[in-house]
Structure 1
Amino acid sequence: MIKKKGNETTATNERNFLSAQTKIKGDISTHGILRIDGIVEGNISVEGRLILGSKAKVQGNIIAESLEVEGILIGDCQIKGTLALKESAVVNGNMAYGNISIDLGAQFTGTSKILSGEQKKV
């Protein structure tokens, strides 16, 4: 769906996908939904939803509206909404989030804190 603001056209609900055979060195910034099944060495910023699939390995910091982790994350994350750690998740870093869901079997090493109402707006 495309929305038009004045002279500027923006896409909503964009979907981006990095397959298991993809390796990226560098930062990623996007809108909408991003699913990663490959390897990323760099920071990720998503104005929307980020999904790290079971084959994903991310080494870098993450800022997103929501994050679902099934793979490996080495780095800090700031999630305005819900952070979901699935059964196969391995996270090594500090987490800040609005809400959290941790499945039995998920592994986490680091610190954890709930964002205040004002921090969620950032």
Structure 2
Amino acid sequence: MKKYSNGNGESQVPNIISLGTKVTGEIESDGDVRIDGFLTGKIHAKGKVVIGKDGVVDGEIYCKNTDISGKVNATMEVKEVTVLKATAVFTGKITTSKISIETGALFTGECVMSGTGTAKAKNETKKG
């Protein structure tokens, strides 16, 4: 994850929940969030959400992009790209534009591909 500018010429680092940290509640961020600890609750991030290999999330995730290496039991809405790394264990529902699932990742649940291509295909199916 990278530093980003807040518009005032200042750069900020991503929010990090470190290994050994447990959080219950809701996280809202204008930037990126990385979870290496345990979160029960919701994440709303305008940037990327990274769940590290030791990270665990139980709840909801709303973000631009996500990269999962840990354990997630959640409903996720990802505007752009979802990546499940080989060590990922995901249970739940993902709504995303694009998804990449590496060999070794465990996925149990539902994936809904959103975007103009999917919407167009649904509309053409209804017409015919």
User: What does the per-residue CA deviation read over 1:35-70, in whole Å, with 9 as the maximum and x for residues that have no partner?
Assistant: 110000001111000000000010001100000000
TM-score by structure 2 length? 0.82
TM-score normalized by the length of structure 1 = 0.86
- The two structures, once aligned, show a CA RMSD in angstroms of 1.6
- Seen in structure 2, the aligned counterparts of structure 1 residues 74 and 55 have a Cα distance that, compared at 3 Å, is same
Partner of 2:81: 82
Query: Which structure has the bigger radius of gyration?
Result: 2
Q: Number of aligned residue pairs: give it.
A: 112
Q: Is the helix fraction higher in 1 or 2? A: 2
Identity %: 29
Distance 1:57 1:2 in 2: 28
Match of 1:95 in 2: 94
Flag structure 2 segments of 5+ consecutive residues without an equivalent.
117-128
- The runs of at least 4 consecutive aligned structure 1 residues that moved more than 6 Å come to none
Q: Does the aligned pair in 2 maintain the 1:20–1:37 contact within 8 Å?
A: yes
